Chain A
Amino acid sequence: MYLETTNVVKQYANHLALNKVSIRVPKGTVFGLLGPNGAGKTTLIRIITRITAPDSGEVLINGRPSKSDDVFNIGYLPEERGLYKKMKVGEQAMYLAQLRGLSKADAHRELMVWFRRFDIANWYNRKVEELSKGMQQKVQFISTVIHNPDLLIFDEPFSGFDPVNAEMIKNEMLRLKAEGKTIILSTHNMESVEALCDNIALIHRSQVVLQGKVFDIRREHRTNIFRFRLRDSDFSFEHPSFTLVSKEPYHEFTDIRVRKQPEVATNELAKLIFDKFDVVAYDEEIPTMNDVFIETVSS
């Protein structure tokens, strides 16, 4: 476990922001921190980054309680982020890198590597206020990762990026993961959660309501619904093993969704349908993270 929080509690004046939150983030994985607005994600991140202290509970890094030096080994890209508008891009990135413990020479070398990778080396002497929002986001991303930290925390990293740049950021994150970095990703974009995250924790009303591997969680939320695409023009078949959920034509095919009885084996259901109809394709409908999110939060 690279990062763990144990029963973290944070109370603000009139509301409990975090109620005994425990998360476990394995080393070298991408961890999705999910939850509706105001659930307490940002507060938890601020506790991990030592911006605020928990009222009780602990943050463990590599199994030992986190200490103030650990901030040098964390890269944090906040959701609400900004830069000093009057400063030049290069100066600012250098300043932030040095603030995180890099020597001037190291900072400059790293910066050049990243500027070239993002193809923005010619921005070095431009003022931040001259850049578009997406361009500023790139600079912010670089200043988050420049000091080569082992733990990276991205809060809504894709907002403000066009699809091309969002894809680039996504690939950078996967590359960082391949290098062995541990990444916490907080986002409302469930597609990217499925694409990037190994594990997730869902925080709702200040508590962790769901935690585990993404695929396990999706499987746990399956509803026994199976989809068949038939070459038949209609589907009229009733059997105690299943109930029909929906039926609609798709070009020359018919798509059906059936819910099988829990005690019936998948094979049996397939056999029943295969015997009577010409099946082109079939699969189990596993809920997306989006479905899981909505179901968990609204129940």
Chain B
Amino acid sequence: MTLLMPLLMVALSFVPLWLSTLNDGVVKNIAVIDNTGIYAPLLKSTDLYRFQIINDAQQGEYQSKIGKDLFAILQITEDLSRNSQAVTILSEKQTPQELRTMVESALNEKVMEQRLDDLSRQGNVNAEAISEVRSIIEAGSDISVKTMKWGDDGTVSESSTEIATIIGMVFTILIYMFILMYGNMVMQAVLEEKKSRVVEVMVSSVKPVNLLVGKITGIGLVGITQLIIWGVLTGVLFTSLSLFIASPQQAPGAVPAEMSSFDTEGIMKAVLSVNWFEIIVYFLLFFVGGYILYASIFAMFASAVDSEEDTSQFMMPVTLIIMFAFFAGFYSVGNPDGPLAFWGSLIPFTSPIVMMVRLPFGIPLWEKLLSLVLLYGTFILISFFAAKIYRVGILMYGKKPSVKEMIKWVKYK
């Protein structure tokens, strides 16, 4: 174990990274409308994305295909060297960061070239021109692709890949933290009751199963209470902040000059365009499922041993799975529809964590429902066995049992 540990740690961070680079074999078609005709040929198709040049007239026809065999429409309306904002991706799902980066870097390169060409066309190169070259190179990456979402009701709204990514990451970290934290709290509580031997007094009045269910429910509710407090505070803070920024005239001087150069209003808009209600409902559903699943496992192992030191052998694999899920979630952000993200969000042991990354990018309802059904089914099954083992384990002292012995306990009357 001592020698394997570093190997495991490395594997843990690299395996999901490698898995995230696999593509799902489904090529995403992207229609390109380039009114300038300069940029479209630069977009090279890859294994994952195929670019297809269409003209303005076809736009309507292609728009109706979005979400079916077309992933997105990329529209460039003006010469980007003059207006760096004139590029938009319209898609049904949230545009993955990966695609955006790819498009931006291709465009950036061309725009830089264009600007340098313009400069050289002006004739003699003087000091002024050199400083301009410098600024062109510095500004090299000012192309920013606007991403638009094609809503269910046919409306088009501005969306933000960054916001989706940030929200996904925040919720992933939250759910990972809470599952681990409150799962551990359950483990500590079980251990403490066993160590202090109060458990024998307790089970002479209540059924062990009720004791376990009560403990998991109680600690779970503490978790949810804490989440609600955090949620409400964040909401209040955000709302007051957005009000403050949205009306700078009313509070002159309060907003520093540099702040206004940010597109704060745009960010606010994008944040508000996120379907918070859906995300929070799913977050709670997945938190409850994931928490009960892991808390049952933690309680099961804690009940079987006498002291904290003995738990490590059993806890290690469980912790590794949770950490794997965390890394898988982390790396899925760039490609939230890839196979790692897809399977990670379906398999019950990783789904609560990985699903959080995918939610803001918009995924089909059936995937969410299937994932929930699998998760809840698994926790019912696992907690059934956990309760059986817990019932026997809390009254067993002495030798640390093997997994084989614990399986035998399930059959005890």
List chain A positions with a Cβ less than 8 A from chain B.
12-13, 46, 49, 51-55, 68, 71-72, 74, 76, 78, 80-85, 96, 99-100, 140, 143
Mask for B236-254, Cβ within 8 A of A = 1, else 0?
Answer: 0000000000000000000
How many Å from the CB of A156 to the closest CB on chain B?
Answer: 13
Mask for B202-231, Cβ within 8 A of A = 1, else 0?
Answer: 111111100000000000000000000000
Enumerate chain A residues within 8 angstroms of B412, measured Cβ to Cβ. Answer: 12, 52
B198 within 8 A of A: yes
- Tell me which of B196, B204, B208, B405 contacts A83 (CB under 8 A): B196
B259 within 8 A of A: no
Residues in B185-210 with C-beta less than 8 Å from chain A = 193, 195-208
Enumerate chain B residues within 8 angstroms of A96, measured Cβ to Cβ. Answer: 201, 205
- Tell me which of A53, A78, A100 contacts B197 (CB under 8 A): A78
Enumerate chain B residues within 8 angstroms of A68, measured Cβ to Cβ. Answer: 207
In whole angstroms, how far apart are the Cα atoms of A203 and B151 in the complex? Answer: 76
- Cβ contact within 8 Å between A49 and B197: no
In whole angstroms, how far apart are the Cα atoms of A72 and B206 in the complex? Answer: 9
Enumerate chain A residues within 8 angstroms of B397, measured Cβ to Cβ. Answer: 80
Which 6 residue pairs of A and B lie closest in terms of their CB atoms, listed nearest first?
A82-B197, A82-B196, A78-B200, A82-B198, A76-B204, A53-B413
How many Å from the CB of A70 to the closest CB on chain B?
Answer: 11
B395 within 8 A of A: yes
| Count of A-B contacts judged by CB separation below 8 Å | 56
B121 within 8 A of A: no
Given known contacts A80-B200, A83-B196, A84-B198, is B205 in contact with A99 (CB within 8 Å)? yes
List chain B positions with a Cβ less than 8 A from chain A.
193, 195-208, 395, 397, 405, 408, 412-413
- Cβ contact within 8 Å between B201 and A140: yes
- 18 additional A-B pairs beyond A68-B207, A78-B200, A85-B196, beta carbons within 8 Å, are A12-B412, A49-B204, A51-B208, A52-B413, A76-B201, A76-B204, A78-B197, A80-B197, A80-B397, A81-B197, A81-B201, A82-B197, A82-B200, A84-B196, A96-B205, A99-B205, A100-B205, A140-B201
- Tell me which of A52, A72, A78 contacts B201 (CB under 8 A): A78
How many Å from the CB of B195 to the closest CB on chain A?
Answer: 8
8 pairs across A/B with beta carbons < 8 Å? A13-B405, A51-B203, A76-B201, A78-B197, A78-B201, A82-B195, A82-B200, A83-B201
In whole angstroms, how far apart are the Cα atoms of A99 and B204 in the complex? Answer: 10
Chain B residue with minimal CB distance to A48? B204
Enumerate chain A residues within 8 angstroms of B206, measured Cβ to Cβ. Answer: 99
